[in-house]
Structure 1
Amino acid sequence: MFLQLALAAFVVAAASVTPLPDAPAPAAAETPPPCGSDHRVDQTLTNGARWQMCWEMRTIEGLTLSRVTYTPKGGVPVSVLRSAALAQIHVPYDSGEPRYHDIGSLGSAVIPLTDGDCPGGERRLDQVCVTTRPRGHAYLKDGFGDPGQRRSLQGRELVMLSAYQVGWYAYVAEFVFGDDGSITPRVGATGSLAGTTTSPEYGWPIGVGRKHFEESHSHNVFWRLDFDIQGKSRDVVEQYDFPGNKTKKRTLEKTVLTRETAARSRPTRWWRVVDPEVRNTDRHPVSWEINNTDTAQYRGPADERFTRADLYVTQYKACERLATYNAEPRCAESVDRYTDGEKVRDPVVWVNVGFHHVPRDEDADPMPVHWQGFRITPRDVTATNPYRAE
């Protein structure tokens, strides 16, 4: 693994769209996203849900999505994200060294994709795979003895995939868009183990006997998500907690994050980005929920304070691009320093997901993929089941 810091300035233009009406209106998605055909994605899934977006391969962050819009079946387009990209892959080893920051020039580390990497899909410039695949049950309801009342449906998802060779690791990066309106960013690490030898205190025996101990390490993956729910002017980030451990009752506690914040994952804690003026036909505000419970919550030393939180909320600044080693001279170096209490009017959400990799014999070359990521779920975007919405 290596670190390259050859930053090039890039600013993503803000989307400008109008709020959803209170009653359904015809979908206005005939106007394509403002990008060339090679970089435009417009996919309608089998249940009628439609995803539209632009993509580009940035020198630093690699695959970057912009102008992401979701149209539920029978509904109107809802813009969700102005941009989404990886912001860092921090890899500290258990013995204390080395401590890699693997994002520096992912765009120049792209692994050219083959048809085998993109089954049933389309390779764009051999850099990105655009495909769809089954995602399991969308729902299942028993008919309680009446076969005519039984309901079951399989769901599908749109996948945007790219891969990068960083030292001995290959990273497979996916943005997965469900037919239920969900978004799942995730990264899979594969390729080869480092081949380093350490003591039993810091590793696991690999190979014959107990002569070689492969060192354990963490992968702390950061994503940068610039939410724009029908424009940037009203979006708010809220934190939800449900205290009541070891009691019969649980209460709901809402905290509005009006200023830049570093937040930590806890059981039953989640966040949402909401536009209070964009409402579904039940007149409930449209939002997207962020759940980051599948994280190892690595906490590093004082000079790695960026690892001390699992979600950061910051005010949009074009030069705040990476979670660490941000080399833009106009901005601070790491995401923990971006959160200085500034009032948030146009929120950017940074999500940190940790995975502690303890090697095993099964990781022999080529190493099977181990995945880490989080989930973004629509909350009140439609007033009914998105598979049955009309």
Structure 2
Amino acid sequence: MTRTLSTGSSWRMCARIHPFKGLVLEDVQFKAGQGRDEDAGWIRVIGSLYLASLHVPYDNGGPAFDDITEVGFGDGQLLTQTPDTCPGDRMDVEQSFLRGTQLVERTIPGICVGETETGLGWHSQETWSDLGNRYAQQGRALEVSSLSKAGWYEYQQKVTFTDQGAITVGLGAAGDLAPGEGFFPTDPALGWPIGPEGNPQTDRAAGSHWHNAIYRVDFAIGSGDQQVQQWDYEVDPERPTLVRGEGSVRSEAFTAEETPATTWWRVMNPASLNADGHPRSYEIVNDAIQNPYLPVTRPPVSFTNDHACQEYASGNLNTGCPGLSVLDYVAEETAPLTDPVAWVSVGFHHIPRDEDQSPMPVHWQSFSLVPRDLLAQQALTPPERACDNGYTVGATGSCAAINLTPPKIVAESPAPGVGARLTADSGTWRWARADLAYQWLWLRDGEPILSTGDDGLPTAVTGETYRLTDADIGREITVRVTASATGVTPGIATSAPFVAPLPTPPGTNPARTAPELTLKVLKKRDQKGRPRLRVVVRGDQGAGAGVVTVQRRGKVVTAALTDGRVVVRLPRPGKRYRVTVTYPGDQRYLAASASIRVRR
């Protein structure tokens, strides 16, 4: 699948449902919505990602389940996506499996893909008051998910890909509390009282238990060998606020069991550099708890090289290395750590509550993979901030010339004709880091107006003023303003069109009369659903001649009359708007104007 978010960034990947692992994502790539040319293409970041173990032991020391390796999240456990579970697109999954001795072959919508809001994506207020520039945008993300039923629990596997390149991997548990005496002990120290007190049939404790999830993340940042870097921090005993961090490359497989909370890890490719020359990497952010009572779940993360047989975090089902766990993989690894796989432990100690009774609200356990130097700047850097790269403390003002209101043309007389002077302003522009200079270019029907220069060659007409010629009458005249400054990306803005009315022909009838200008929106629209306006100019001396000007939604067009009438196409109305029609008059009739409101 390839999806471009509404903010401009894109993700592409392969998604499938595995009989045991459930949702598996492979060959995950990211492309920023903005940025430098060097960072503008697809960047491969993940080779594969999936849930490699889900161990659920109950605190009473009795039931314990391995929901991935013993039950599985695919085959018959995969649930059909419906509009209630999937507000986005539902992708079909073809399945073939045995239910008992019966072969089941089916195709169901089993994967949900959709875009979602993430809240405020970025924000910057340059000054202490609202007088300075302010930059803000709402964030968006792509969600890929599936639903599976394992026993009494229903699990949603969901991976969220933000427009900034971050990946959040989550497991949501819903469904129902498991029934029976084995799951409802009488000792409240092993759970939580559920149900009305004093009733021997219902007054028992729902058993507390762990959801020990371990994910397998095979990194593939760029191409070639990769490294695992660990960052450790120490505090000066005499200056507690002085904190020093130092990174070291871990060259051998390891489990991060005895590490301070401030220690963190990233996987980087020293040969894949961003536009600033920094190695691209992803940082593992895991704020979830880990079950400290089981050796395999105790480390927040472990690292090994990628081996095809090492599929599961515990009770490995692959016949190449059966029954092994992450601890065995680490112990048996002899090669340098150059093709890293992260085994991320994400625990959740579920202490039930009254509110968990059917249907159980979803509770989540998750971790994130955050890009670190994947790009030279953030993935959606607006042009106004493109020059902010490095030490820019105190620098204010836009890096680009951004137009706020377009330039405007003003005529020196109410009814300008040949020789009349038009004057254009520069419009208004966002405050920039240097004083903007402006250049004006005059256009006729969208093409530059040419005049003869001193050398006899045609040259474009520039400057703030322009005098109308015979060729301009009845045509659309606009002005294009270019704003620029040293160190500022130039910007361009174009005015609304100005139309000089056709001259009134000399006539023998000095006593001209006012015509009747009739406007009617026709019931029948054109093939694209746009409304049509019929204009009729008629008076005591018959049909009007010449043209009319039609102004709608800030745009002015001219239309020639035939026997005093013409039909004009209008924009499709998203909401009501007003249309104004002006007739400049002719040798028999005076000028006239009329308006009409176009409804939805």
Q: Secondary structure at the match of 1:240?
A: strand
Amino acid across the alignment from 1:237: V
In structure 2, the residue matched to 1:249 is 242
Deviation string, structure 1 residues 94-137 (Cα, Å, up to 9, x no partner): 11121211103211110111012111334434110000100011
Distance of 2:14 and 2:132 partners within structure 1: 43
Number of residue-to-residue matches in the alignment: 345
1:298 aligned to 270, 279, 291, which one?
Answer: 291
Deviation string, structure 1 residues 11-45 (Cα, Å, up to 9, x no partner): xxxxxxxxxxxxxxxxxxxxxxxxxxxxxx10111
TM alignment of 1:1-390, pairs within 5 A: 41-74=1-34, 75-104=40-69, 105-108=72-75, 109-125=77-93, 126-142=109-125, 143-146=127-130, 149-195=133-179, 196-198=183-185, 199-209=187-197, 211-231=203-223, 233-244=224-235, 247-264=240-257, 266-293=260-287, 295-300=288-293, 304-331=294-321, 333-340=324-331, 341-342=333-334, 343-388=336-381
Percentage of identical aligned residues: 37
Amino acid across the alignment from 1:215: G
What are structure 1's unaligned runs of at least 5 residues?
A: 1-40
When normalised by structure 1's length, the TM-score is 0.85
Amino acid across the alignment from 1:100: F
In structure 2, the residue matched to 1:22 is none
In structure 1, the residue matched to 2:566 is none
Amino acid across the alignment from 1:110: L
In structure 1, the residue matched to 2:441 is none
Q: Secondary structure at the match of 2:295?
A: helix
Q: Secondary structure at the match of 2:188?
A: coil
Distance of 1:82 and 1:356 partners within structure 2: 30
Distance of 1:380 and 1:117 partners within structure 2: 36
Q: In the alignment, is the contact (CA less than 8 A) between 2:88 and 2:113 conserved in 1?
A: no
Deviation string, structure 1 residues 71-96 (Cα, Å, up to 9, x no partner): 11241111011111110111111111
Amino acid across the alignment from 1:291: V
Distance of 1:129 and 1:92 partners within structure 2: 30
Distance of 1:127 and 1:59 partners within structure 2: 12
Deviation string, structure 1 residues 309-361 (Cα, Å, up to 9, x no partner): 11110111111001111022322511111002422221111100111110000
Distance apart, 1:147 and its partner CA: 5.0
Q: Secondary structure at the match of 1:106?
A: coil
In structure 2, the residue matched to 1:23 is none
Distance of 1:140 and 1:357 partners within structure 2: 37
Bigger drift between 136-145 and 351-360 goes to 136-145
Amino acid across the alignment from 1:275: N
Deviation string, structure 1 residues 212-242 (Cα, Å, up to 9, x no partner): 10010111111101111112x2111111122
CA RMSD of aligned residues (A): 1.7
Distance apart, 1:298 and its partner CA: 0.8
Bigger drift between 137-146 and 311-320 goes to 137-146
Bigger drift between 119-128 and 164-173 goes to 119-128
Amino acid across the alignment from 1:77: W
Structure 1 residues 283, 368: CA separation in 2 closer, same or farther (over 3 Å shift)? same
Distance apart, 1:266 and its partner CA: 3.7
Bigger drift between 185-194 and 379-388 goes to 379-388
Q: Secondary structure at the match of 2:364?
A: strand
Q: Secondary structure at the match of 1:308?
A: coil
Distance of 2:148 and 2:217 partners within structure 1: 20
Distance of 1:97 and 1:362 partners within structure 2: 24
Structure 1 residues 266, 367: CA separation in 2 closer, same or farther (over 3 Å shift)? farther
Bigger drift between 122-131 and 364-373 goes to 122-131
In structure 1, the residue matched to 2:506 is none
Amino acid across the alignment from 2:342: V
Structure 1 residues 220, 240: CA separation in 2 closer, same or farther (over 3 Å shift)? same
When normalised by structure 2's length, the TM-score is 0.56
Amino acid across the alignment from 1:273: V
Higher strand share: 2
Distance of 1:376 and 1:327 partners within structure 2: 27
Distance of 2:251 and 2:162 partners within structure 1: 30
Distance of 1:80 and 1:215 partners within structure 2: 40
Q: Secondary structure at the match of 1:368?
A: strand
Q: In the alignment, is the contact (CA less than 8 A) between 2:188 and 2:204 conserved in 1?
A: no
Q: Secondary structure at the match of 2:84?
A: helix
Distance of 1:141 and 1:388 partners within structure 2: 11
Amino acid across the alignment from 2:213: V
Bigger drift between 349-358 and 143-152 goes to 143-152
Distance apart, 1:370 and its partner CA: 0.2
Distance of 2:42 and 2:243 partners within structure 1: 36
Distance of 2:256 and 2:236 partners within structure 1: 20
Deviation string, structure 1 residues 272-317 (Cα, Å, up to 9, x no partner): 1100111111111110111112x222122xxx42123111101111
Q: In the alignment, is the contact (CA less than 8 A) between 1:124 and 1:130 conserved in 2?
A: no
Q: Secondary structure at the match of 1:115?
A: coil
Q: Secondary structure at the match of 1:345?
A: coil
Q: In the alignment, is the contact (CA less than 8 A) between 2:81 and 2:90 conserved in 1?
A: no
Distance of 1:245 and 1:100 partners within structure 2: 46
